[in-house]
Structure 1
Amino acid sequence: MVDGKNGIVVVFDFDKTIIDVDSDNWVVDALGATHDFDRLLSTMPWNTAIDAIMGELHARGTTLRDVADVLCTVPLDPHIVAAIKACHALGCDLRILSDANRFFIDAVLDHHGLGGYFSDVTTNPSHVDADGRLRIAPHHDFHAAPHGCCLDTCPPNMCKGQALDRVLASSGAAGGKKQRFIYLGDGHGDYCPSLRLGREDMVMPRKGFPVWDLICEDPALLQAEVHPWSNGAEMEETLLRLVARVEEE
């Protein structure tokens, strides 16, 4: 059961939303594996390629600590940190729904002291094997069966719309009020969950990014209110304004 004290659930994408870069590319570029990653991408899906490049880096002697150290240098806008802390203090239930992976997300959040602010992180799972090599698996095992979403904006390893449906289905009343959802994202994969939100909910697409372009193609397809943002300062102002508005209703 979702348990936001003020009845508001805020769901964040991670890459280019909480952080201002793509965490996969940040790690690959910083560890000097860009060319090899591009080679892998020519033959396999993104999520599979990230797992494979972690294997190649491990074989070269790159340690788990090396990967974590690179993630600690990921830029995080102080306005976004402030927005997360303010929403949490107001009683919002904060969640992450991301096509990154658990190791990368945890490393960044823990470095900035933000891990305890989120009640749930839905992403591609990761673990360290017996050899100390980071393994990254798909959220949805598409090798066994497709996730079945009809939108071509969802990658094979994750339909965020289906993941959000599970959160919506588990939501109930908080303090006698129906749960209200605010969804923030930037990429193609954030379009599907935006379509799943209801009339009482709000979506915050990052302006000028793929999800914004998709929404603009036919805004009438969305039931939720649309509130775009461009940078950390705009995200903080918009998000806190929407939370305050819902609290007053």
Structure 2
Amino acid sequence: MAADAAARRRRRFLMVFDFDETLANESSDDAVVRAAPGGQQLPDWLRAQYREGRYNEHMQRVMAWLGQQGATEDAVRAEIQNIPETPGLAALLDFLRAHADDFECVVMSDANAYFIEAWLEHTGARQLFLEIFTNPAHFDAASGRLVLAPFHAHACPRCPDNMCKQRILRDFLEARRSGRSGHQERSGGHQEHQEHQERSDGHQEHQERSDGHQERSERSGGHQEHQEHQERSDGHQERSERSGGHQEHQERSDGHQERSDGHRERAYERVFYVGDGANDVCPCLALETQDVAFARRDFPMHRLLTADDTHDTHTHTHTHTHTHTRTAATVQPWSSGHDVVQYLQRALEER
């Protein structure tokens, strides 16, 4: 029926991107160390303080050390902006811009908001992304350093303590399915989303800002965007406040998608997840058979998703211990953004 075809066309494809070594061709956490004056390297005592599953805490100490060495905000931003794009990324982003009616794009990254915003704005790609899910960060003028915070608390055994991407993806898909759009627009037409997920013993904390005031969603050019807060505390309902005094309610229980039945309509026709690292495996376990996990060839995500799961093996990474688990989605290796473009072109033709 024509109505069914029109409804299907309205259900866009979702593109989910990791950041480090997926969009940017280097880990931003490695690149920022070059901001240290005099070409200093991280001292051994600082490296030795790292604990598995607590990489966000480690980077908080790294940024504090950089501030103590006199690394300026300009130097930090410059090193992040100098990270090159992954091969073929420009072609992929151009393709997504040309098919904006078919694709919605988000970033899910264990980097931080300051790095990702700086890099995307520098490359001119910021407006393409509906949401950025990452660890809160801001440059504190008083201390002269970048201040980081964890994204949220969770109980997933596969993921680092500060972020479970599967929980984020499930929550986002449920919010979109329910008609809740969670992104904020800057003045001038730029989209911005800063999630506040800091926790202390289950209590909500507010993201710090250099001016101490919360940014509010603005409207420009007739486009409406909403800011969605995914703050949770042990499954209790929290509210995301919006300008105009309107409230939306978002209930969660340990990051699992709530359902009244098992046959709800999907938020998107298909989900395409593009990543490279071990922490990109967990969100792919939420994908379904029509979805695709684009795993960067010969990187940890690719090795884990294509590993022989007849063996009881574990892979230790700097973020967590990962048990090999299969995804229901198609696993598609990529070495260049051109590989992803070719697949997406076929998906549009077969739609």
Q: Same fold (TM over 0.5)?
A: yes
Question: What is the root-mean-square deviation in Å for CA atoms of aligned residues?
Answer: 2.4
Paired AA for residue 131 in structure 2: D
Paired AA for residue 26 in structure 2: V
Q: Does 1:114 align with 2:120?
A: no
- In structure 1, the residue matched to 2:228 is none
- Provide closer, same or farther for how the CA distance between residues 29 and 63 of structure 1 changes in structure 2, counting only shifts above 3 A: closer
Larger radius of gyration: 2
Alignment of 1:1-249 (within 5 A): 7-31=12-36, 32-36=39-43, 39-44=45-50, 45-77=54-86, 79-91=88-100, 92-131=103-142, 132-141=144-153, 147-151=154-158, 154-172=159-177, 178-218=268-308, 221-230=326-335, 232=336, 235-236=337-338, 238-247=339-348, 248-249=350-351
Higher relative contact order (CA 8 A, sep 6+): 1
Aligned pair count reads 233
In the aligned structure 2, how far is the partner of 1:76 from the partner of 1:87?
16
Paired AA for residue 127 in structure 2: G
- Provide closer, same or farther for how the CA distance between residues 23 and 217 of structure 1 changes in structure 2, counting only shifts above 3 A: same
In the aligned structure 2, how far is the partner of 1:211 from the partner of 1:64?
32
In the aligned structure 2, how far is the partner of 1:17 from the partner of 1:243?
17
Name the one with the larger helix percent. 1
Give me the identity figure in percent: 34
- Provide closer, same or farther for how the CA distance between residues 40 and 140 of structure 1 changes in structure 2, counting only shifts above 3 A: farther
Instruction: Give 1:111 deviation, angstroms.
Output: 0.9
Q: Please, which runs of 5 or more residues in structure 1 have no aligned partner?
A: 142-146
In the aligned structure 1, how far is the partner of 2:295 from the partner of 2:347?
19
Instruction: Give 1:244 deviation, angstroms.
Output: 2.5
Equivalent pair of 1:203/1:227 in contact (CA under 8 Å) = yes
Instruction: Give 1:107 deviation, angstroms.
Output: 1.1
In the aligned structure 2, how far is the partner of 1:193 from the partner of 1:6?
21
Equivalent pair of 2:16/2:272 in contact (CA under 8 Å) = yes
- Provide the secondary structure at the position in 2 that maps to 1:157: coil
Instruction: Give 1:6 deviation, angstroms.
Output: 6.2
Equivalent pair of 1:171/1:179 in contact (CA under 8 Å) = no
- Provide the secondary structure at the position in 2 that maps to 1:10: strand
Instruction: Give 1:79 deviation, angstroms.
Output: 1.8
In the aligned structure 2, how far is the partner of 1:243 from the partner of 1:17?
17
Equivalent pair of 1:7/1:173 in contact (CA under 8 Å) = no
In the aligned structure 2, how far is the partner of 1:25 from the partner of 1:199?
35
Equivalent pair of 2:292/2:332 in contact (CA under 8 Å) = yes
Paired AA for residue 330 in structure 2: E
- In structure 2, the residue matched to 1:144 is none
- Provide closer, same or farther for how the CA distance between residues 186 and 78 of structure 1 changes in structure 2, counting only shifts above 3 A: closer
In the aligned structure 2, how far is the partner of 1:107 from the partner of 1:183?
22
TM-score of the aligned structures, taking structure 1 as reference length: 0.85
- Provide closer, same or farther for how the CA distance between residues 186 and 107 of structure 1 changes in structure 2, counting only shifts above 3 A: same
Q: Please, which runs of 5 or more residues in structure 2 have no aligned partner?
A: 1-8, 180-265, 310-324
Instruction: Give 1:5 deviation, angstroms.
Output: 5.8
- Runs of 4+ residues over 3 Å off in structure 1: 171-174
Paired AA for residue 159 in structure 1: C
Instruction: Give 1:28 deviation, angstroms.
Output: 0.9
In the aligned structure 2, how far is the partner of 1:155 from the partner of 1:124?
12
- Provide the secondary structure at the position in 2 that maps to 1:149: coil
